[in-house]
Amino acid sequence: MNDLVEVRAGVYRDSVSLMRVSRALTARPWVSVALVAMATALNVEMARDLGFAVPGTATPGDLLVAIRAGSADELADAAADLERHLAERGSAAGSGGARTEGARPGGTLPRTVRSAARTAQASAAPATPATLALVSVPGEHAFAEAMDAVAAGLSVMIFSDNMPIEQEILLKDRARERGVLVMGPDCGTAVIGGAGLGFANVLRPGPVGVVAASGTGAQQVTSLLDLAGVGVGHVLGVGGRDLSAEVGGRSTIQALRALDADPATELIVLISKPPAPEVARAVRDLSLTKPIVAALLGPGQDDLTAAAAKVLSTLGVPVPGWPHWPAPRPLSGGGPLRGLYCGGTLCTEAELITRAMPARETAEFTDFGADEYTRGRAHPMIDPALRLEALAAVDRGVVLLDVVLGHGADPDPAASLAPGLARAAARGVAAVVALVGTDGDPQGLRAQAARLNEAGAAVFTSNAAAARHAARLAVPLTGGAV
């Protein structure tokens, strides 16, 4: 085999673009491995695990190239293809001197969020001024960009993660002073007036407003509501740490009051991973005029599916049977339970549910969307590589996974997961999938379910139901199958 390993100092590309370059190179007939990524510690470790000799001088600000091909000629062709892909993606991003739609007069792009806001406001109709900025840059740079947006009088959604908590607190205090809202950091999902931002499912419009310190938690609840025929007007993400003791619900309180004042919102849903108890009490004690259904995960609290059912009951809508697809073959019971999740709140919910059920051999959960796995890499809802590697290592027992559909996510997650699930089934592993999405999502909820089911998995649209099913499978049986 022939290897190419390069570390290109100071060359930056976003992780999604680099993932696509890696996939394009790997698709070449004689390329066995292609990793093109920023040289973060995680990516360097992955390259070394694959047998590449990565120099010790690599830093997270460098571009790492690691390609393995069958011959020297094939490696040279792959290297040439790499340069073509990088050049195409570099030119697609535009350059400072390029004339671009929306650029300021004179032909150059705005260089800051504040100047972009001025440009947008100058070019917009008086009735539709710019009011929101979306920040998606490496975490160490997100604070400066978000503060610039707040200074310009814009609310801001911070998709970026890995922002220090001290910066988050300062940013949210400044936003409150300016009368704008900070959604994030690590806000993966928002819906503003029916328009989705980040990872967003296709939802019918309706009277429900959501405040969520959880992206996938919001996606689970709103997808279930959509399957029941109930629509959503707004989803205001606030970042996973907002209900911590340190942050104190700063954005949550603002968002709840904003939805309470919105005439189109009839009911508010509040969603979070386990919050700090004192912050949860302060939020519950707010004086609001509209009913609130709380889905604050924790021992003894409602799961997300139960919260969705409460919303339906409050609105006078019947609670349906949530769609699910039983495994095509009987699944044997017993063995360890391994949870391989993309969504942090879905992972927390599944772990809470399984820990409360009868004893099993072992249960281990990993949230591949956590900061340590996404530093310098695309989120696992886009890039399945780390999760597929973990799935391949499961050799017995039960594996539980989430698959989250919608805009921004993998356009065809079943295409990459189904072969791994089929191989797991051949090893005797029982697979259970929590499929979060709506019938309007571009991937096709039922088509994805069918392909995952054909690969041997039991598929549930309720993560809580999937977790309970997986836990029951993991309990050692005295005989028979489940």
Residue range 40-68, pLDDT digits in tens: 888 899 899 989 999 999 998 899 999 99
For residues 137 and 185, what is the distance between their CA atoms, to the nearest angstrom? 11
What Å distances lie between residue 165 and 159, 172, 288, 377, 480, CA to CA? 15, 11, 28, 21, 51
How many residues does this entry show for the chain? 482
Q: What is the pLDDT of residue 26?
A: 87
Q: What is the pLDDT of residue 112?
A: 75
For residues 184 and 362, what is the distance between their CA atoms, to the nearest angstrom? 34
For residues 433 and 340, what is the distance between their CA atoms, to the nearest angstrom? 10
Q: Is residue 339 a contact partner of residue 351, using CB atoms and an 8 Å limit?
A: yes
Q: What is the pLDDT of residue 194?
A: 86
For residues 326 and 49, what is the distance between their CA atoms, to the nearest angstrom? 37
Q: What is the pLDDT of residue 391?
A: 96
Count CB-CB contacts under 10 A for residue 246: 12
User: Which domains does the chain show, CATH number per domain?
Assistant: 2-92 (3.30.70), 186-291 (3.40.50.261), 324-474 (3.40.50.261)
Closest CA to 215 of 481, 406, 460: 406
Q: What is the pLDDT of residue 440?
A: 97
Q: What is the pLDDT of residue 105?
A: 44
Q: Give the tokens for residue 108.
A: 């150059």
Q: Is residue 269 a contact partner of residue 292, using CB atoms and an 8 Å limit?
A: yes
Closest CA to 308 of 470, 467, 468, 462: 462
Q: What is the pLDDT of residue 115?
A: 74
Q: What is the pLDDT of residue 263?
A: 96
Q: Which regions of 193-343 does DSSP assign to beta strands (E)? A: 195-198, 208-213, 232-237, 267-272, 292-296, 324-325, 337-341
Regions in the chain scoring below 70 on pLDDT: 89-111, 120-128, 331-333, 359-361, 376, 476-482
For residues 29 and 323, what is the distance between their CA atoms, to the nearest angstrom? 40
SS (H, E, C) 414-477: HHHHHHHHHHHHHCCCEEEEEEECCCCCCCCHHHHHHHHHHCCCEEECCHHHHHHHHHHHHCCC
